Structures are given as C-alpha cells and as structure tokens.
Structure 1
C-alpha cells in the first residue's frame, strides 16, 4: 500500500522537471560557452594567484 502511494506521486513531479530541463537547455546552450569561459578564466587567475602565493611563501 505504501509503495503504491509513493509510486503515484513520482510521475506527476517528474513532468515539471522535464519541461524545465527542456526549457533550460535552450538558454543554457548559448549561456554555457560564456559561463565556461568566465569559469576557465577565473580558474586560471586563481591558479596563478595561488602559484604566486606559494612562490612567495617559498621565498620567505
């Protein structure tokens, strides 16, 4: 009985996420490259800053 009750609500909530995922895919495609570039730049900058900090610590 409980298992059946749990299974029933599953399909209902599964529908909205599917719609959201489909809708999100369209904006994500153009947004991803820009976001990825920004993230990559941030990672590179952070990495460089960390390297400099490590070098300074080593020099000290």
Structure 2
C-alpha cells in the first residue's frame, strides 16, 4: 500500500502582521470555508488504513 497523498491548496493566513501559507488548511477547516470539504473524510480514512496496516506489519 502506498502512503496517502493529500492535495495541497494554498491558504494564506495573516497573524500579527505575518503572512503564513498553509497548504493543508482545508483538512482542519471545520466550517467548510474551502470547497474541498468533501475530500477530507476520504483522506482521513486512507491515512488511518495506511497507518493501521504499517503498525500491524511492524508489531509481528
């Protein structure tokens, strides 16, 4: 199984005068401000399945 890949969507946040670019903001955007909210569950489930498979393989 290949490692999961989450899409990068640039999102700029300005905090205290500094601009930060967060490519993965859409993963934790609970209000659905970004339109890619429909991709979040698939990325999370894929990441969880990958982690579980690798942890099980290492524990044997």
Q: Normalising to structure 1: TM-score of the pair?
A: 0.44
Q: Which one has the largest radius of gyration? A: 1
Q: Which structure has more helix as a fraction of its residues?
A: 1
Q: Normalising to structure 2: TM-score of the pair?
A: 0.44
Q: Which structure has more strand as a fraction of its residues?
A: 2
Greater relative CO (CA pairs within 8 A, separation 6+): 2
